[in-house]
Chain A
Amino acid sequence: MIRLFPRLRLFPDKTDIKFMKGRFAGVGLSALLSIISVVLYFHPGLNYGIDFKGGIVIEARTQAPADFPAIRGMLQTLNVGQAGLQQFGSPNDVLIRLERQPGDDAAQQRAVERVRGALQQSFPGVQIRRVEAVGASVSEELFRNGMLALGLSMVAMLFYIWFRFEWQFGVGAVVTLLLDITKMVGFYVVADFQFNLVAIAALLTVMGYSINDKVVVYDRVRENLRKYKSMPLRDLIDLSINETMSRTVGTSVATFLATLPLALFGGEALEEFAWVMLFGIVLATSSSIFIAAPILLFLGEDKLRRGPPPGKTDDAAPATP
């Protein structure tokens, strides 16, 4: 076959990298990052969006470039509490964020009406492009449901992997997910992204992607456990990672490329989602290799392979479902 251009190989076909040598460094670094993330979660903490905290967001487009001091001044006279102003997209666009108004849900609506009216009065021709107002009861519910979805999916993953593989795989996957998730939360704090419903979707998607990755590596480990009955688990895991490496890299690159346009011009709503996805893809790929596999090695040293040291043959087949 004539090839007009050389094939792209992001990763050499035959490799023999001893990934497990770096397992302590990998798990250690990951644990450290996760601990830092947990600290960040408590201080300064997540920037909760109005979905989870309640409050008001108003997006407006003024005729002239948005006059921030004037808008801030106008808001101060309205007695609607602390206001956050943010410019995005064109200089005419301004995003006004208000804290949840004290009092009941009707208080939210009154504040929306006041701000809307004042904007239209002070800046003739202003376009109110988006208004979101979430009250206390709804935001609490959304938050509870979001956390429930995260927690349940964690449990579901544990049982699924346990059912399809061995329990060591399940525990390995879930511990890795926990480490992933904490770092994602840390990323949200550092990037100062809004933590809202879309963030839950992003977290769940990254978790799904991450599990995907783990399943591919674990699948290969399981296959090789059957194929090479006498190979020490450590070498076997290394072999499996090396074998699946070009797929891991290929899929990561493809997903990364698919998400990149969203991050660049997906608009205010999707940009943060896309950046989190990009971060998550890199995170998930590395955690499959440096976290999920070593954990499997720690947990499965004697269990998955009830076998003698390397060199001797052994036919105690590993239990497979």
Chain B
Amino acid sequence: MLFFARWKIWSIVGLCLAGVILSLPNVIPRPSWWPESVPYAAMNLGLDLRGGSYLLLEVDMPAVVRERLVNIQDQVRTRMRAGNIAILGIAARENAVVFQVRDPAQAADAVRALREIVTNVGTGGLGGGTPDLDIQSTPDGTVTILLTEVALRDKATQAVEQSIEIVRRRIDETGVNEPTIARQGANRILVQLPGVDDPDRIKRLLGTTAKMTFRLLDPNFDPNSGQRPPPGVEIMRAENERRSDGQATLYAVRQRVEVEGANLTRASAGTNPQTGEWIVNFEFDSLGARRFGDVTRQNVGRPFAIVLDDKVISAPVIREPITGGRGQISGRFTARDAQDLAVLLRAGALPAPLTIVEERTVGPDLGADAIRAGIASILVGLVLVFGFIIWSYGLFGVFACLGLVANLFLTVAALSMLHATLTLPGMAGLLLTLGLSVDANILINERIREETAAGKSPYAAMEAGFSRAFSTIVDSNLTTLIKMMLLFAFGSGPVRGFAVTITLGILTSMFTATVLVRLMMVVWLRAKKRQTLPV
């Protein structure tokens, strides 16, 4: 183990130099002359170090399923009417729609008619997909339409992916730099916002589904009467409008949606030149413009409601037909309200409500403090460990310390190349690696000392020291590696950074402790031709 071919020596030295060079981007900002094509890779700083906001959002899956079930009920009613099949008591039950055919003899016809609403989803099965609905009937005429497992999963994927798209658009509108938006697990979305230390506005934007609808009011029903509204009408609260008793104003809004927010193409905040009030200007696409034109033409003089997520933003009276597809919403907005509403309308509605299930926000100066504390700890730790090693092992201790420095550089270089994220626990990991990789050096040096004491020549002692210690080093490091992989697999956020730094640190320490340090010792021994070892 003590012979090093020339090319090996150069590649070892080269690798260590590469480690130093590849670590540099972390301390030197990219120079202006640096060619675009050559990567200048540095570690990412985690949000806990650079400051920022981490949000974990959950897509409200039950709401998605509920909506799909309502949709199926509509389809059932239409099909049954078309097929002249009378039905009773249609209802949604956990992932299924159940109804009764009045004449049980018609159950088979009903099932046949409903086959047409089944579509294939997913990629499994022949012909690309599996049916999304499972329709069954019993002899007494009960028909059950069950959303299949595959359909549920497909729906979830769709909802999450659409939500991610919308979330991205909304966040982009706010001008946050380098946000990370990614799917996590089955129904969650991870959002990382570097540099955002007060995420209130973004939280508000993301917490709004922003389903906008234009509907007519029912002028014949008094929403304050306390009575049940007639079928097809619901009572809604106003967003910003209050009655004289301080409660939100109520409106009797028809359930039928005349025009949807999805038909909007443009939205922007502005002020009304006459009143100075904040408003949102919008524009419909051609379909929306036509419908809006029709509705306003037929209902001149009547009030209609602009509804956002089940709240009435404003309920103006239609003065004249609006055929140009343009309009404005005035709802007692503040400047911020108007701007946020414009952002929401431009970015589109979420397919389902999002809930923030986890938030971690760190201010930039706290992050800076953490970096300072981390660097100070690493430096002091280095000094303490180096002092101890050199005091214990003399010259070989110096070699070991050089190995540790190389180890640190190689770890940082590897983290940079991987674009890994350095977190606060990750910095602790860097420090701990130092302690753990000293172990290899101590094992080797102790072994050499033992072998020397047993009367071996310097070469033989070193040979035995390295080869015997090697299997121990591999065994002990492998156990730590297994642990860190588990931590990475099951941990989350900053703790993963810890697992990554320790893993890379241990891998590189195997190289520095057993190869680099050995090389230094061999070169020294050849040059000095000593009869005893400085152990």
Query: Residues on A close to B: CB < 8 A?
Result: 1, 3, 5, 7-10, 13, 59, 104-106, 108-109, 112-113, 116, 127-135, 137-138, 142, 145-146, 148-149, 152-153, 156-157, 160-161, 164, 197-198, 200-201, 204-205, 207-209, 211-213, 215-216, 219, 223, 243-244, 246-247, 250-251, 253-262, 265-267, 269-270, 273-274, 277
Q: Which of B21-29, B318-326, B362-370, B513-521 makes up part of the contact surface? A: B362-370
**A261: shortest Cβ distance to chain B, in Å?**
4
Q: Mark B491-535, 1 if CB is under 8 A from A, else 0.
A: 111110011001000000000000000000000000000101010
Closest to A14 in B: B453
The 7 closest A-B pairs by CB, nearest first: A255-B435, A258-B435, A149-B490, A208-B480, A261-B380, A257-B384, A212-B476
Would A132 and B486 count as touching, CB distance under 8 A?
no
> Which chain A positions have C-beta within 8 A of B365?
127, 129
Chain B 406-452 interface residues, beta-carbon cutoff 8 Å to A: 424-425, 427-428, 431-432, 434-436, 438-439, 442-443, 446, 449-450
> Which chain B positions have C-beta within 8 A of A262?
377, 381, 428, 431
B332 contacts the other chain (CB 8 A): no
The complex places the Cα of A204 from the Cα of B381 at a distance, in Å, of 21
Query: Which of B471, B476, B530 gathers the greatest number of chain A CB atoms within 10 Å?
Result: B476
The complex places the Cα of A207 from the Cα of B479 at a distance, in Å, of 9
B392 contacts the other chain (CB 8 A): yes
Would B487 and A201 count as touching, CB distance under 8 A?
yes
In this complex, how many residues of chain B approach chain A with their Cβ under 8 Å: the count is: 81
Closest to A113 in B: B200
Contact among B381, B439, B468, B532 for A251, CB-based, below 8 A:
B439
The complex places the Cα of A249 from the Cα of B323 at a distance, in Å, of 86
The complex places the Cα of A130 from the Cα of B489 at a distance, in Å, of 26
Given contacts A1-B394, A128-B198, A219-B471, 12 further A-B contacts (CB under 8 A): A8-B388, A13-B453, A106-B207, A133-B356, A201-B495, A204-B483, A212-B480, A246-B446, A258-B381, A258-B385, A260-B384, A270-B373
The complex places the Cα of A59 from the Cα of B51 at a distance, in Å, of 13
Would B492 and A142 count as touching, CB distance under 8 A?
yes
Query: Which of A208, A219, A253 gathers the greatest number of chain B CB atoms within 10 Å?
Result: A208
Contact among A113, A212, A267 for B369, CB-based, below 8 A:
A267
Contact among B58, B443, B486, B530 for A153, CB-based, below 8 A:
B486
Would B391 and A274 count as touching, CB distance under 8 A?
no
Closest to A117 in B: B200
> Which chain B positions have C-beta within 8 A of A243?
450
**B150: shortest Cβ distance to chain A, in Å?**
24
> Which chain A positions have C-beta within 8 A of B361?
128, 130-132
Would A138 and B394 count as touching, CB distance under 8 A?
no
B193 contacts the other chain (CB 8 A): no
Would B359 and A267 count as touching, CB distance under 8 A?
no
Contact among A13, A59, A133, A198 for B358, CB-based, below 8 A:
A133
Chain B 74-100 interface residues, beta-carbon cutoff 8 Å to A: none
Known: A145-B490, A145-B492, A149-B490. A157 touches B392 (CB 8 A): no
> Which chain A positions have C-beta within 8 A of B489?
149
6 contacts between A and B (CB under 8 A): A104-B355, A197-B495, A201-B491, A207-B483, A219-B475, A269-B424
Would B480 and A211 count as touching, CB distance under 8 A?
yes
**A106: shortest Cβ distance to chain B, in Å?**
6
> Which chain A positions have C-beta within 8 A of B532?
1
Known: A59-B366, A270-B424. A257 touches B450 (CB 8 A): no
> Which chain B positions have C-beta within 8 A of A261?
376-378, 380-381, 384, 431
Would A254 and B495 count as touching, CB distance under 8 A?
no
> Which chain A positions have C-beta within 8 A of B235?
none
B484 contacts the other chain (CB 8 A): yes
Known: A1-B534, A127-B365. A254 touches B482 (CB 8 A): no
Closest to B480 in A: A208
Would A257 and B493 count as touching, CB distance under 8 A?
no
Would B476 and A215 count as touching, CB distance under 8 A?
yes
B389 contacts the other chain (CB 8 A): yes
Would B443 and A216 count as touching, CB distance under 8 A?
yes
Known: A135-B357, A250-B446. A200 touches B491 (CB 8 A): yes
B360 contacts the other chain (CB 8 A): yes
**A53: shortest Cβ distance to chain B, in Å?**
13
Known: A149-B491, A243-B450, A269-B424. A105 touches B476 (CB 8 A): no
> Which chain A positions have C-beta within 8 A of B427?
270
Would A208 and B355 count as touching, CB distance under 8 A?
no
Would B490 and A267 count as touching, CB distance under 8 A?
no
Would A146 and B490 count as touching, CB distance under 8 A?
yes
> Which chain B positions have C-beta within 8 A of A113?
200
Would B356 and A205 count as touching, CB distance under 8 A?
no
B472 contacts the other chain (CB 8 A): yes
> Which chain B positions have C-beta within 8 A of A200?
487, 491, 495
Q: Mark B385-409, 1 if CB is under 8 A from A, else 0.
A: 1001101111100000000000000
> Which chain A positions have C-beta within 8 A of B395?
1
Would A106 and B355 count as touching, CB distance under 8 A?
yes
Closest to A139 in B: B358
Would A273 and B428 count as touching, CB distance under 8 A?
yes
Known: A160-B479, A219-B472, A250-B442. A260 touches B366 (CB 8 A): no
Closest to B203 in A: A109
**A215: shortest Cβ distance to chain B, in Å?**
4
Would A253 and B388 count as touching, CB distance under 8 A?
yes
**A126: shortest Cβ distance to chain B, in Å?**
11
> Which chain B positions have C-beta within 8 A of A127?
363, 365
B260 contacts the other chain (CB 8 A): no
B287 contacts the other chain (CB 8 A): no
B105 contacts the other chain (CB 8 A): no
Contact among B200, B355, B393, B493 for A116, CB-based, below 8 A:
B200
**B407: shortest Cβ distance to chain A, in Å?**
12
Chain B 343-365 interface residues, beta-carbon cutoff 8 Å to A: 355-363, 365
Contact among A211, A215, A274 for B428, CB-based, below 8 A:
A274
Would A129 and B363 count as touching, CB distance under 8 A?
yes
